[in-house]
Amino acid sequence: AQSVTQLGSHVSVSEGALVLLRCNYSSSVPPYLFWYVQYPNQGLQLLLKYTSAATLVKGINGFEAEFKKSETSFHLTKPSAHMSDAAEYFCAVRGAAGNKLTFGGGTRVLVKP
């Protein structure tokens, strides 16, 4: 069984400030981890993914995430928030032997000018 927990359903940041979205997972096998972003009235888009090649993963729009096995975490960060980063972000996990994604509850990011 696998699960994902995202700490904080809403995060508010000022433009130019650090964005930090937390994701913890559980998986009985080495996991494949993903961050998806959903802009208003749109479907989800892949932001980045971890597939065991490197623990620090860089994605689109300046986002990156670090896989920490000891903490079972895959937190998403961006050094400087932009107004266009306002969206909902989902962490997801997939076990190596499975083909179905398990999503976290999502974190909605509000960027204040």
Partner 1 sequence: NAGVTQTPKFRILKIGQSMTLQCTQDMNHNYMYWYRQDPGMGLKLIYYSVGAGITDKGEVPNGYNVSRSTTEDFPLRLELAAPSQTSVYFCASSIEGQPNEKLFFGSGTQLSVL
Contact residues toward partner 1 (CB under 8 A) are: 4, 6, 9, 32, 34, 41-46, 49, 51, 90, 94-101, 103-106
Least distance in angstroms from the C-beta of 38 to partner 1 = 8
**Please, which residue, 83 or 97, has the CB nearer to partner 1?**
97
- Smallest separation, CB 12 to partner 1 (Å): 17
The torsion angles phi and psi of 94, rounded to 5 degrees, stand at -135, 130
CB of 3 to partner 1, least distance (A): 10
Residues in the chain: 113
Per-residue b/e over 58-80, b at no fewer than 16 CB within 10 Å?
A: ebeeebbbebeeeeebbbbebee
By C-beta, is 13 or 57 nearer to partner 1? 57
CA 96 to chain centre: 19
The first and second tokens of residue 42, run together, are 């749109």
Q: Which is nearer to partner 1, 18 or 96 (CB)?
A: 96
Q: Which is nearer to partner 1, 5 or 72 (CB)?
A: 5
Q: Calculate Rg over the CA atoms of the chain.
A: 13
